[in-house]
Amino acid sequence: MKFTTFLAIKYLKPQKNKIFSYVSTIIAVLGITTGVATLIVTMGVMSGFHREIRNRLLTMYPHIVITGVSDIPEVDILRLKEIDAGSPFVYSQAILKSKDVVYSTVVKGIDFEKEKKVSGIKNIFVKDEVIELKDNEIFLGKELAQNLNLEMYDEVVMILPTQVRTPFGDLPMTEKFFVKGIFKSGIFEYDNNLCYIDYNKAKKIFFDKQTKTFNAVLGFGIKLKNDNDINIVVKKLSTMMGYIYKIMSWEQLNYNLFSALKLERTMMIIIVSLIILVACFVIVTNLMMLGIQKSKDIGILIAIGSTKNEIKKIFFLQGIILNIIGIISGTVLGLVLSFLIKKYQFIKLPKEVYYIDKIPVYISILDLIIILLIAILVGIIASIYPAKKVAQFDPVEIIRYG
C-alpha cells in the first residue's frame, strides 16, 4: 500500500479529543448516503410510473389511430409492409340508464375479433373469458358498472344523441344492451367512463337518418410489427391519405401526460441531486478542517521530501473514500427501500387523481448508472478544491507556528 493511501485511511479514523471532526465525517457520509438512496427511489418511482402507464395505455390504444368523418380506406392502409393488423372503430358519447341511475359515458364501437389483434383488450376483463361481442351486448368499465349498479348479464338502456321522429316530436333514440363483460384497464379515467359495443351496431345507431350524418367519429386502429416504426408509418400515412384524416400515434394522443411525466422526472433528478451537493459541501469543510488539524504532519511530510502532489493526493483520496462509502451505502439503502415500497405498497394513491392506485417501482440499469455518475462526479469535484488548498501550505510557516 502506498503511503499516500495509508495516510488517507489513517486520517479518517476517529481520534481522541477530535470528536467534532469525526461527527462531521459521519454527517458527510450520511448526507451522500441519503442523497443517493433518495435519488434511486425517486428515479425508480418515476420510471415505474412511466412504464406502468405506458403498458396500461397500450392495452387500450393501438400503435396508431386514424380518425375522420368518412369511411377510411382500410385495404390501402393494410398494404403497408410495417403494419401487422388493423381494426375499425366508432367513437361517440351517450347516456347509460340503469333503473334510477343515469350516467354519461364514452361509447366505442369495435369489431372484437379485429380489436384483439391491435390492442390488449382481451387481457383486461375482470372475470370469465370473453370470446365475442354480439349485436345487443356491451362491455363496461369496472367503475362504470359499479356506478350503475350493474353486474354480468344485467340490462342497461343507452340514450343516444341520434334523434327519432315521433308523434310527440323528435326524441333521443334508445337501445337496450346486456352486460357481456366488465373490464378493468387499471386506468380510472377509462374504467369510469368507457364502454364497448359491436362495431356494426354502433354504425347503425349513431347514424342520423334525418340528416344523413354520423353522430360519431369513424376511426381505424393500427398495430405495427415493430413499434419503433411508429413515426415512419405516421409520415407515410399522412402523405398517402392527405389532410382529410387525422393520423396520430398513441404517444401523441397522450402527449400532455408523457410531457408532464418527463418534466417531473427531470426536475426531481435536479432537486434530489442537491442533497448530494450539500453533502459534498460538508466533505469540503471536513477536509479543510482536517488539513488544518494535520498541518504539522503536512509540514513534516513536506520537509522530509514529500511533494505537493503527494499531499494533494492524500486529501483527495480522503474525499473519494468518503464519497465511495456514501455511494455504496446509499445504493444498498435505495435498492432495499425500492424493493420494500414495490412489495408492500406502504402508500396508496387516490385513483380518482392518478392513473393508477399504487406506487410502481422500476429500477433500470441506465438510471442506476446515471445516479452513480452524478454522485461520483460531484464527489470528485468536491474533493479537488480542499486537496489543492491543503497542498499549498508553506512547510516553514507550518513548522514554525503549527
CB 361 within 8 A of CB 336: no
Per-residue confidence (pLDDT) for residue 18, from 0 to 100: 61
236 and 95 share one domain: yes
Give Cα separations from 40 to 37, 179, 271, 356, 365 (angstroms): 5, 45, 13, 21, 11
Residues 108-147 pLDDT 10s: 999 999 999 999 888 888 776 667 888 899 999 999 999 9
User: Higher confidence at residue 399 or residue 255?
Assistant: 255
Which residue type sits at 385? Y
Residues 162-179 pLDDT 10s: 777 666 666 778 899 999
Which residue type sits at 54? R
CA–CA separation, 55 vs 65, rounded Å? 17
Q: Please, is 358 exposed, middle or buried when counting C-beta atoms within 10 Å of its C-beta (0-12, 13-18, 19+)?
A: middle
Categorize the per-residue pLDDT at 16 as very low, low, confident or very high, splitting at 50, 70 and 90.
Answer: low
Where is the domain boundary, 231, 250, 269? 250
134 and 204 share one domain: yes
272 and 197 share one domain: no
Lookup: cell for 233: 408509418
CB 70 within 8 A of CB 244: yes
Domain range for 46: 3-56+257-401
| Plot region of 393 (φ>0 → left; ψ -120 to 50 → alpha; else → beta) | beta
Where is the domain boundary, 191, 226, 250? 250
Categorize the per-residue pLDDT at 221 as very low, low, confident or very high, splitting at 50, 70 and 90.
Answer: very high
72 and 131 share one domain: yes
81 and 168 share one domain: yes
In the 8-state DSSP scheme, what is residue 173? E
Beta-bridged to residue 117, according to DSSP, are: none
Categorize the per-residue pLDDT at 303 as very low, low, confident or very high, splitting at 50, 70 and 90.
Answer: low
Instruction: Say what percent of the chain tops pLDDT 90.
Output: 24
Per-residue confidence (pLDDT) for residue 167, from 0 to 100: 66
277 and 359 share one domain: yes
264 and 194 share one domain: no
Residues 83-104 pLDDT 10s: 999 999 999 999 999 988 999 9
Among 319, 321, 313, CA closest to 382: 319
Among 5, 206, 257, 190, CA closest to 89: 206
DSSP 254-316: THHHHHHHHHHHHHHHHHHHHHHHHHHHHHHHHHHHHHHHTHHHHHHHHHTT--HHHHHHHHH
Which residue type sits at 341? I
Where is the domain boundary, 250, 271, 295? 250
Categorize the per-residue pLDDT at 182 as very low, low, confident or very high, splitting at 50, 70 and 90.
Answer: very high
Per-residue confidence (pLDDT) for residue 354, from 0 to 100: 63
Polymer length of the chain? 402
328 and 231 share one domain: no
User: Higher confidence at residue 47 or residue 16?
Assistant: 47
Residues 186-220 pLDDT 10s: 788 888 999 999 999 999 988 887 777 788 889 99
Lowest mean pLDDT among 58-67, 222-231, 254-263, 385-394: 385-394
CA–CA separation, 158 vs 175, rounded Å? 5
CA–CA separation, 158 vs 389, rounded Å? 79
106 and 227 share one domain: yes
Per-residue confidence (pLDDT) for residue 8, from 0 to 100: 66
Catalogue the E-assigned strands of 13-153.
Answer: 64-68, 83-98, 101-110, 137-141
92 and 132 share one domain: yes
- Into how many domains does the chain fold? 2
CA–CA separation, 180 vs 196, rounded Å? 10
Which residue type sits at 210? Q
- pTM of the full structure: 0.72
**β pairing state of 207-208 and 213-214:** antiparallel
What is the H or E stretch that residue 50 is in? helix 19-60
51 and 67 share one domain: no
221 and 236 share one domain: yes
